[in-house]
């Protein structure tokens, strides 16, 4: 896979995800389709799915989550600061630690 192909793939993913975000209120099913198409491109081109969007995917049912629509978000401070996202599609929870400077996994 050439660098150029990967660059194009990345651009396509971003375009699809932006579209998905824009239309989800009126056409949630279409938004899921766009997200699936973006996910396929990422697998095919071996481009990592952008982190920004990855956080919006349910770990359990792999659906694209729209906060306030099919997901709720809560901030948690106990033990370590983290965000808990509840998927209303499958009821699963996904947790992300808060951004801490310099900490990456
Ligand atoms: Zn889910």
CATH number at 1 reads: 1.20.5.420
pTM of the model: 0.78
CB neighbours of residue 9 within 10 Å: 19
Whether residues 1 and 50 fall in one domain: yes
Structural domain count, the chain: 2
Q: Which residues surround ligand 1, an ion (CB under 5 A)?
A: 58, 60-61, 87, 89-90, 92
State in Å: Cα 89 to ligand 1 middle. 5
Whether residues 50 and 77 fall in one domain: no
What pLDDT shows up at residue 51? 87
Whether residues 50 and 1 fall in one domain: yes
What pLDDT shows up at residue 1? 64
* pLDDT averages per 10-residue partition of the chain, 105 residues: 89 96 92 95 94 90 90 88 94 84 52
Whether residues 62 and 100 fall in one domain: yes
State in Å: Cα 76 to ligand 1 middle. 20
What pLDDT shows up at residue 52? 87
Whether residues 79 and 41 fall in one domain: no
State in Å: Cα 23 to ligand 1 middle. 20
Closest CA to 47 of 82, 4, 80: 4
What pLDDT shows up at residue 101? 56
Whether residues 40 and 80 fall in one domain: no
Whether residues 5 and 30 fall in one domain: yes
State in Å: Cα 1 to ligand 1 middle. 32
What pLDDT shows up at residue 91? 97
Domain of 70?
A: 58-105
CB neighbours of residue 31 within 10 Å: 22
Separation of alpha carbons 54 and 74, rounded Å: 18
Whether residues 69 and 97 fall in one domain: yes
State in Å: Cα 101 to ligand 1 middle. 29
Whether residues 64 and 100 fall in one domain: yes
What pLDDT shows up at residue 100? 59
């Amino acid at each position: 896979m050439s660098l150029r192909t990967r660059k194009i793939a990345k651009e396509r993913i971003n375009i699809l995800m932006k579209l998905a975000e824009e239309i989800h209120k009126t056409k949630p099913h279409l938004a899921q389709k766009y997200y699936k198409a973006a996910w396929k491109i990422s697998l095919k081109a071996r481009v990592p799915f952008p982190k920004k969007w990855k956080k919006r995917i349910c770990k359990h049912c792999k659906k694209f989550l729209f906060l306030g629509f099919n997901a709720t978000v809560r901030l948690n401070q106990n033990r370590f600061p983290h965000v808990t996202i509840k998927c209303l599609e499958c009821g699963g929870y996904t947790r992300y630690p808060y951004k801490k400077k310099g900490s990456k996994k």
